[in-house]
Amino acid sequence: MKNRAFVVLLIVSILVAVSAYSSKKVPPLALSEMTTIWIGLSVGEVYAYRVHLHPNGKGLVAITKKNQEPIVFSIADWDYSKGKI
């Protein structure tokens, strides 16, 4: 019986610790962390995306599908403030 009480107490302690840790809000990235290359895939991994954000407020977006040339778009202007683009 002591063993079972210890296991229950251990599980409850872990759940409380995980809950407290997961409730912390993640701070927004700094501008220097945003100005980089971001890569992503569409649902089903049909398309690949590459976004290159430059510190001067410009950038590039490339979209490609397997075995096809990428389509590249220019970003004329972008701004980052308070964690939002």
Contact 38, 17 (CB under 8 A): no
Quote the pLDDT of residue 5: 65
- Give the confidence band of 66 by pLDDT, cuts at 50, 70, 90: confident
Quote the pLDDT of residue 23: 64
pLDDT tens by residue, 5-48: 666 666 766 776 666 566 677 788 888 888 999 999 988 888 99
Contact 70, 63 (CB under 8 A): yes
pLDDT at residue 2 above 70? no
**How wide is the angle at C-alpha 51 spanned by C-alphas 46 and 52, nearest 5°?**
150
pLDDT at residue 53 above 70? yes
Strand partners of residue 60: 52, 74
Contact 55, 35 (CB under 8 A): yes
* Tokens linked to 59: 């950038």
